[in-house]
Structure formats: structure tokens, C-alpha cells
Amino acid sequence: MGTLLLLLGILLLAQPARAGSLIENKSYTSPKTTIRYSLWGGTETVEMNRIICEKFVTAHPDIAVDASVYPWGQYWAKLQTQTASGLAPDVISIYTAAIGIWVDRGALMPLDALVQRAGLDLDDYYQAALDNFIWDGQIYAFPLEIALAGLVYSIDRLEESGIPPEEWPKSDQSLSWAEYETLARRLTLKNPDGSIAQYGMAGGWSWNPIMFRHRGGTVLDRQVDPTRATVAGNEALASGIIGVFEAMYGHRYHASPETVNAAGLSGDSILLSPKFAMSFLGPWTLRNFQRAGVRVGLSPPPHGPSPQQLISVNAVGIYAGAKQPEAAWKLVQFMASEAVQPIFGQRLRGVPVLKSAKDALINNDYDIKGCEAFLADLDIARPFRSDTNTYVPAAVDKWSQETERLLDNEYDRRLFALQKNYPNSPLTNDAYNAFSDQMSAFVAATVRNRLPQLQQQLDAAFARAHRQEPSPFVRTALPALILGALLAALAAYLFAVRRQHEVQTLPQPQTNWAAYLCLGPWLFGFVCFTVGPILASTLLSFTEWNMIKAPLWIGAQHYVDMFSDVYFGMGLEKTFTYAAFAIPISLIGGLTTAGLLTSNIRGADVFKAIFYFPSLFTGAAAAILWVNMFNKEYGIVNRLLSLVGIAPINWLDTDHAFFTVVLMNFFWIGGATIIYYAGMKQIPRSLYEAAEIDGAGAFRRFFNITLPMLSPVILFMVVMTTIGAFQVFTPALFFASDSSQIGAPGDALRFYSVNIYDEAFNNLHMGKACAWAVVLFLLIFAITMVQFKLSKRFVHSEG
């Protein structure tokens, strides 16, 4: 015990002091008050942020700023866990699409009183930008800069195509959609076999919604109707969606998301790849191209029949639990002031929200010409607000991905069929044109047919988020029933196990205090870290709780909702399927290898060690290695398969990712090998010798001696593998681009445990996550019990 305490002491001392902050790790003065501020971005943001913070601490010597810059995906993941743990920064960066969610969660403080007291004249700011952050009549964040996008084209690609500079898009005049399409198609180059060598356009930032809007369609944002989907019967939207898919899979002058992903670049840096000629990007991407030596030109977005520019606005809000709200507001106000606003333009982060500062973008610090292109659409700017319902964008994504996959496969199939007609010569012009026209017609028909499905999925998403007022039965009776069932299960378990162990129970009923002291560490952990939390989880599962506001009792509503939740069934299906592969792989792989090793061979110990070695690597490093080896383009697995004439497979896409994760289990059979090997070694040789004398062949010996004698070991391994398989999580994390995307690609890796993590730490639905976790526990419990029951029949025991 003393050692324990000593160690805890060491632990305390050894904690590195919490020095400054994260990536940009600087305290700017040594003052009385320190406020924490975090934002997303890359190197440029860090640099800009340094300038702003230095200015701020000069103006306010009594306040220090501890600023952190994260990459986009990590920023949101961090903010979730930080708010959940009460450690959110005082000043939170936020943007249009996220504001509703965070206001709903109660993470942001209303700023009205502060704005009024500071005497800010809101007319000095773009109204469209301010509108974004007014929620229920109150302003929850102050806008800083507007993300407006423009058509960005690679000058090199245009020069290569021999397009004279006079015909390049102009920075002060937008193209029409027809002109844009002609240009994009001209910049799309085909290989002799009909595959695409260079795409005219790669989507970029909010391209699709803008296409829908320009055709007069409305998108799914809060301004349309926050309570239901508006897809069915919306002909303008339909034509917009068809237009987008036609460009990607019909005439294919627009790179599909799959193609962009395969290039290994994020959308913001897509023009670094010479495979793409244009994209639709914001000013914040330009410096990156300049640094990489990619020359780009700018033009306002093309204009259609009902031109609108959807804008996202970046803002700063104050954390509802901020310890220094006054000091935090000073920073917010400072960033919205004349002193700082031009910096956002000069550093090309976005259009300053202060009207008088907008020209700073044109005269930016990097001497990038043509930025007036971004200002052209300010007058037709509409906020791109999304709903607080996080399931809705997920439903749209899912539908789009399914449609993309369908069209992509059809495109590949048709092109392959066409190529077979031209084995040794380039495709003829006519054949290719006929092919792409047919493909276009197919795209239009398919997308149109699938639109009702989108409507359905959206309705389901809205229904999923809309929690019904729990009935009295659900509110009180059902929780009691569930608790009762849990207790009954526990009692049944104890009863069953006690009976099994009855014979071994010795009549030694004495109280041995030293013994209880020995058990102390475990008892402490059992009560505080196991039983307590399980009870807490069970109680929390009857509440709605986001860790920010107080839990709200809703009874067993989460359990009721579960059955109508697509992810519940999907999670179970994926998990069971995974287990159904993992268990036999471990069983058969382990038995086979152990069988080989016990066949009286030389060097069995060396082989054993080699077989076991890979199973040590189950974590991050192995997942990274796996993702690399199975890459379609540069992965070694496809190279090896090509040696035996198998066409490249995209192992990491929606169709195959699950299978690829299952394959990892072959890599881990070694653990089972060792245990089965040891088990086989313990079987008395005399049994085999006797069987051999009786004339039993190798197979009969295996089935009649080895298997029965090994059965207790097999049972143990099966139980352990099952428990492990039900908790599979790490591969899903590394197959997704970051933890907020967990489950990707598509929903391929939405294991049950992934859903729990996603609900808890990405959606902050703690109550729901607890309910799902309780069900998982019951499942594992039930399955283990069944396995033990079955074992009585099949397992040989030398009792």
C-alpha cells in the first residue's frame, strides 16, 4: 500500500506542468487574467492569429491569450470533448453551420447585453453575416469573416490546353453556366482508352448546394423548413441534383468525390494535383497554392438563372461556462474592431465582416491578384445555415454516397465493356460520345428515380431527431421493468454459477481481514470504477444529457427509439457479422497452425514465436500499416494481386472496407496458435498411440481425440474472441479521416461500439450512448451465458 501511495506521489510530481497551449503555444504577456481561445486552420491561421493576439495584448496589457490552432476535423472533435469535460476555451470559434447545434447544447453565452454595452453599431457590419448567429432572437456569436467562394483555376492547365489568356475567366465578371460548362469540358482530357487523364473541375467548397440554388432549388437549410424535408416535388432542386451527378458521371468533366479522395489531397488543396484544372474555393486556400508554386487565377462563381452565393461565416462566441467572460468579450470585440478586421482580408482568410475593411482582401499581404472575384457576390449572399438536427446532413451524405457508388460502378462497367471493343486502338470519337451521352441519360433517370428515397431517408432523419414526449409508461414503468430485468439477470447468473461451483466451495466461513486487505485494490476498483459506473450508466440511460446542461429524465425513451433507429440494426448486424468472421478465423486458423506445429517438426519454437509476433500489434500502428497496404493506387496488396492477374480492388471504399478489417484477423491468429499448441501438447501421447493401433487416421484422431480434449481451451478462446469482437473499434478510427468521421467510408464500419462513441463524443448524446452501452452489455452477457450453457454439452472436462 505504501508503495502504491509513493507511486501516486511520483505520478503527481511527474505530470508535466500545463504549459501554455497546444499547437501555437504562446502566452503573449504575463498578466493577471488569461483567456483561452481556440480556432481551426493551418500555418497561415497560426501566423495571423499571432499578429492579432500580439496586438490584443499590447492594447490590453492586463489580459493574456492562450491560443490554440487545430486542423479542421480535430478542432470539432476537441471542442466536443472539451465542452463535455468542462474545459472548453473561453472564446470558441464557430461557423454558420455549427452555430445552431452549439446554441442548442447550451455551450454559448448570449452576447446581446455585451454588444449593447459596448455600443457597437451593427450597421457597420454585413447584415447577412450577423443574421447567421441570431438564434431565437439573441446573438450568440460575433461574426469575423465571411467565407465566400470563387472559381479558382490553374493557369498552367489553361496554358497547356492552349487557351489564350483573353479567353480565361475574368476576375471582375462571372461566367454563365453554359460558358463554365464549355470551359470545364475543354479542360477535361481523356486517355486513349477513354479513362480521364485530367478533370476540368473538382467540386470544392459547397459546390453542390450552390448548383442547386442557382437553378432555383432550395437546399436543406433552416431557412426552408426546419421540421421536414423538401425534396419531393421540388423540380428545380431535382434538376440541380441531376446536373451535379451528370457532370460527375455522365460527361465526367467534374471529378467525383471518390476521384478527389484518391488524389490524396483535401478539397482545399486539390489544385496541387495536376489532374484537376479548376475548383471552387475560398481565399484561404490561395496562399497554399502560391507557396507550392501553383499559379492560379480567380473569377466570381458562374451565374445561373437565380444567382445566389451561399456563405458560411466564421465567428467567435463565448463559452457559457467561461471563467473570464469579461476578458473574453474584450477579445471578441477587439477582433471585430477596425484595428483587426482588415487583417482577415490581408491574410486572405475571408471577407472582413466590417464593411469598411473589405478592400483589404484585394490589397492582400501576399500580392495575390484578382481577389475582387470574392467580393462580387456579396450582395447576393445568403447564409448557408443548416439545421440543429445532426442526423439530417448525415442522411443527405448517405444518400449521395450510395448514389455515387451506384453511378460509379455503372460507369466503370460500361466503359470496360466499351474498351473491350477496342483492344489495341484508341476509342473512336463517335463511340466515346455515344457512350457518354447514354451514360448521361442513365444518370438523369437514376437520380430522378432515387429522389423519393432521399425524401424517405430525410423524413426518417427528422423523425429520429424528434423525440416524442415519453408516455407515463415509458417514463416510469419501463425503466423499472428494465432495472428489474437487469437485477433478475444478475441473480440468475449468480445462481447458475454458484451451482456449478458448489462442489468446490469449501466450508471455510471465516473472516480473514488480511485477505480482504489483499483484495483491497480490486474491491476498490470494482465498486468505484465498475459497479458504480454501471449503475450510473443505467440511470443516465433514462435521461437526455449532453454533459453541458443538467440531465433530463425521459424514462426508457432511448430504449424505445432504438428499435426504429437504422444505426441500431446496422450496428448489430456489422458487429455480429464481424464476430461471425473473427471467431472462426481465430478458431480454424489457430487450430490449423497449432496442428502444423505439433506435427513433430524442427524449429517449432521459432515458428511459434513468428506466428505470435503479429498479434501483438492490434493498435494504431497496425491500422495505419493496413490502410497503406490496401490502398488501391499505391498499396502493395493490389500489386501482388496483379501478379496473378486480378484487377485492382479499392479495398478501402464503402463496399470493401468491412471485409478489409475482417482480413486483419488473419494477421492475429498467433495468439490462438500458442494457446491451442500448449493445449495439444498436454494431451497424453498414449491416447494417440492407442488410436493409431486401432487404425484411426489423422482426421479421426483430430476429431475424436484432439478436439474433445481441447474443448475447454476452445471454449475459453471463443468466449474471449467474442468479447473482443463485440468491442472492435480501433480500425474504424483509422479507416476514417478523423474521429468525427468515425464509421466512414460511408457506413461501412459502423460497428455497434462505433455508434456508442459517435453518439457520446461526436453528438454529445450521453444518455443515448449509455442506453446503447447497457444493451451491449446485456448482449455480451447473454451470449456468454449461452456459450457456457452449450459448453456443458460439448466441453470435455476432467472434473
Partner 1 sequence: MDASRIGLYAALFAITAVLLFPFYWVLSSSVKSREGMAMSPPAFYPSEVRKESIEIAADGRVFSHAGNDWLLLARSEDKLNGGEEMGDYYVRLNADGPSQLVAWLPNAAVQPQPTDQRIYRFPRAQVHILENESRIAILAKMVRQNEEQNRVDELLFAVPAGSDTVADILTFHNVPHTEIRQWHFRWANYPETLAGPEAAIGEESTGFFTYMRNSFFISFLAVLGQVLSSSLVAYGFARLQFKGRELLFIFLLATMMIPGQVTLIPLFSIYKYLGWIDTFFPLIILHFTAGAFNVFLMRQYMLTLPKELDESAAMDGCGTFRTYFYIILPNCVPVLIVVGLFTFVYTWQDVMGPLIYLDNPEYRTVTLGLEYFRSPYVDNRHLLMTGAVLAMLPVAALFAFFQRYIMSGIATTGLKG
Near partner 1 in 584-613, by CB under 8 A: 593, 596-597, 599, 601, 605, 607-613
Question: Does 257 interact with partner 1 (rule: CB under 8 A)?
Answer: no
The Cα–Cα gap between 313 and 128 comes to 9
Which range touches partner 1 (CB under 8 A), out of 77-85, 107-115, 238-246, 354-362? Answer: 77-85
Q: Which residue lies nearer to partner 1 by CB, 11 or 693?
A: 11
How many other CB atoms sit within 10 Å of the CB of residue 523? 12
Q: Which of residues 661-680 bind partner 1 (CB under 8 A)?
A: 666-667, 670-671, 674-679
37: enclosing H helix or E strand: strand 33-40
Q: Which of residues 501-530 bind partner 1 (CB under 8 A)?
A: 501, 504-506, 508-512, 514-526, 528-530
Which range touches partner 1 (CB under 8 A), out of 65-73, 123-131, 250-258, 305-313? Answer: 65-73
Q: Which of residues 389-448 bind partner 1 (CB under 8 A)?
A: 426-429, 432-433
Q: Which residue lies nearer to partner 1 by CB, 374 or 612?
A: 612
Question: Does 577 interact with partner 1 (rule: CB under 8 A)?
Answer: no
For partner 1, which residue of 494, 550, 588, 646 counts as binding (CB under 8 A)? 494
Q: Which of residues 717-736 bind partner 1 (CB under 8 A)?
A: 717, 723, 726-727, 729-730, 733-734
Q: Which residue lies nearer to partner 1 by CB, 31 or 614?
A: 614
Which range touches partner 1 (CB under 8 A), out of 120-128, 168-176, 300-308, 497-505? Answer: 497-505
For partner 1, which residue of 106, 307, 614, 708 counts as binding (CB under 8 A)? 614
Question: Does 644 interact with partner 1 (rule: CB under 8 A)?
Answer: no
Q: Which residue lies nearer to partner 1 by CB, 149 or 732?
A: 732
Question: Does 794 interact with partner 1 (rule: CB under 8 A)?
Answer: no
Q: Is 6 exposed, middle or buried (0-12, 13-18, 19+ CB in 10 A)?
A: exposed
Query: For the residues of 428-471, what is the DSSP string, one character each?
Result: PHHHHHHHHHHHHHHHHHHHHHHHHHHHHHHHHHHHHHSPPPPP
For partner 1, which residue of 72, 76, 334, 688 counts as binding (CB under 8 A)? 72
The Cα–Cα gap between 134 and 383 comes to 12
Tell me the three cell numbers of residue 73: 476535423
Q: How far is the CB of 311 from partner 1 (least distance, A)?
A: 22
Question: Does 641 interact with partner 1 (rule: CB under 8 A)?
Answer: no
The Cα–Cα gap between 561 and 568 comes to 9
Q: Which residue lies nearer to partner 1 by CB, 50 or 382?
A: 50
Alpha helices in 736-765 (DSSP H): 752-757
Q: How far is the CB of 530 from partner 1 (least distance, A)?
A: 6
Q: Which of residues 258-277 bind partner 1 (CB under 8 A)?
A: 264-266, 268-269
* Amino acid found at 181: E
276: three-class secondary structure by DSSP: strand
Please, are residues 335 and 349 in contact by the beta-carbon 8 Å criterion? no
Q: How far is the CB of 305 from partner 1 (least distance, A)?
A: 30
DSSP code for 635: -
Phi first, then psi, for residue 723 (nearest 5°) are -60, -40
Q: Which residue lies nearer to partner 1 by CB, 346 or 546?
A: 546
For partner 1, which residue of 380, 534, 663, 691 counts as binding (CB under 8 A)? 534
Instruction: Report how many helices (DSSP H) and strands (DSSP E) the chain contains, helices first.
Output: 35, 17
Cis check for the bond before 352: say yes or no (omega within 30 of 0): no
Q: Which of residues 85-104 bind partner 1 (CB under 8 A)?
A: 85-87
Nearest one of 215, 178, 209 to 305, comparing CA atoms:
215
Q: Which residue lies nearer to partner 1 by CB, 366 or 757?
A: 757
Which range touches partner 1 (CB under 8 A), out of 55-63, 207-215, 303-311, 627-635? Answer: 627-635
Query: For the residues of 338-406, what is the DSSP string, one character each?
Result: TTTHHHHHHTTSSEESBGGGGGGGTT-TT--TTTHHHHTTGGGEEE----S-THHHHHHHHHHHHHHHH
Question: Does 487 interact with partner 1 (rule: CB under 8 A)?
Answer: no
Q: Which of residues 140-159 bind partner 1 (CB under 8 A)?
A: 156, 159
Q: How far is the CB of 576 from partner 1 (least distance, A)?
A: 15
For partner 1, which residue of 34, 49, 171, 198 counts as binding (CB under 8 A)? 198
259: three-class secondary structure by DSSP: helix
For partner 1, which residue of 48, 84, 94, 231 counts as binding (CB under 8 A)? 84
- Computed from CA positions of residues 719, 725, 730, 731, in that sequence, does the dihedral angle turn out positive or negative? positive
Question: Does 740 interact with partner 1 (rule: CB under 8 A)?
Answer: no
Cα 650–Cα 656–Cα 658 angle in degrees, nearest 5 = 140
Question: Does 483 interact with partner 1 (rule: CB under 8 A)?
Answer: no
Tell me the three cell numbers of residue 448: 430522378
Q: How far is the CB of 513 from partner 1 (least distance, A)?
A: 9
The Cα–Cα gap between 207 and 443 comes to 19
Q: Which residue lies nearer to partner 1 by CB, 87 or 477?
A: 87
Question: Does 71 interact with partner 1 (rule: CB under 8 A)?
Answer: yes
Q: Is 501 exposed, middle or buried (0-12, 13-18, 19+ CB in 10 A)?
A: exposed
Residues 288-307, one symbol each (x = binds partner 1 by CB under 8 A, - = not), give x-------------------
Please, are residues 737 and 265 in contact by the beta-carbon 8 Å criterion? no
User: CA 767, 768, 769, 774: dihedral to nearest 10 degrees?
Assistant: 90
For partner 1, which residue of 76, 334, 366, 493 counts as binding (CB under 8 A)? 493
Q: How many residues make contact with partner 1 (CB under 8 A)?
A: 165
Which range touches partner 1 (CB under 8 A), out of 138-146, 188-196, 224-232, 303-311? Answer: 188-196
Q: Which residue lies nearer to partner 1 by CB, 385 or 574?
A: 574
DSSP code for 18: -
Question: Does 620 interact with partner 1 (rule: CB under 8 A)?
Answer: yes
Q: Which residue lies nearer to partner 1 by CB, 534 or 662?
A: 534
Q: Which residue lies nearer to partner 1 by CB, 136 or 605?
A: 605
Q: Which residue lies nearer to partner 1 by CB, 197 or 485?
A: 197
Question: Does 65 interact with partner 1 (rule: CB under 8 A)?
Answer: no
User: CA 71, 76, 77, 78: dihedral to nearest 10 degrees?
Assistant: 80
For partner 1, which residue of 178, 492, 536, 552 counts as binding (CB under 8 A)? 536
Q: How far is the CB of 637 from partner 1 (least distance, A)?
A: 10
Phi first, then psi, for residue 737 (nearest 5°) are -70, -35
Which range touches partner 1 (CB under 8 A), out of 8-16, 133-141, 465-473, 552-560? Answer: 8-16
Kindly give the pairing relationship between strand 296-299 and strand 276-281: unpaired
Q: Which of residues 742-771 bind partner 1 (CB under 8 A)?
A: 753, 756-757, 760-761, 766, 769-770
Q: Which of residues 318-377 bind partner 1 (CB under 8 A)?
A: none
Please, are residues 68 and 336 in contact by the beta-carbon 8 Å criterion? no
Question: Does 738 interact with partner 1 (rule: CB under 8 A)?
Answer: yes
Please, are residues 123 and 97 in contact by the beta-carbon 8 Å criterion? no
Please, are residues 84 and 547 in contact by the beta-carbon 8 Å criterion? yes
Please, are residues 608 and 677 in contact by the beta-carbon 8 Å criterion? yes
For partner 1, which residue of 227, 453, 642, 704 counts as binding (CB under 8 A)? 642
Question: Does 784 interact with partner 1 (rule: CB under 8 A)?
Answer: yes
Q: How far is the CB of 104 from partner 1 (least distance, A)?
A: 20
Alpha helices in 566-706 (DSSP H): 566-597, 604-612, 620-629, 636-643, 657-667, 670-682, 685-693, 698-701
Q: How far is the CB of 391 from partner 1 (least distance, A)?
A: 20
108: three-class secondary structure by DSSP: strand
Question: Does 42 interact with partner 1 (rule: CB under 8 A)?
Answer: yes
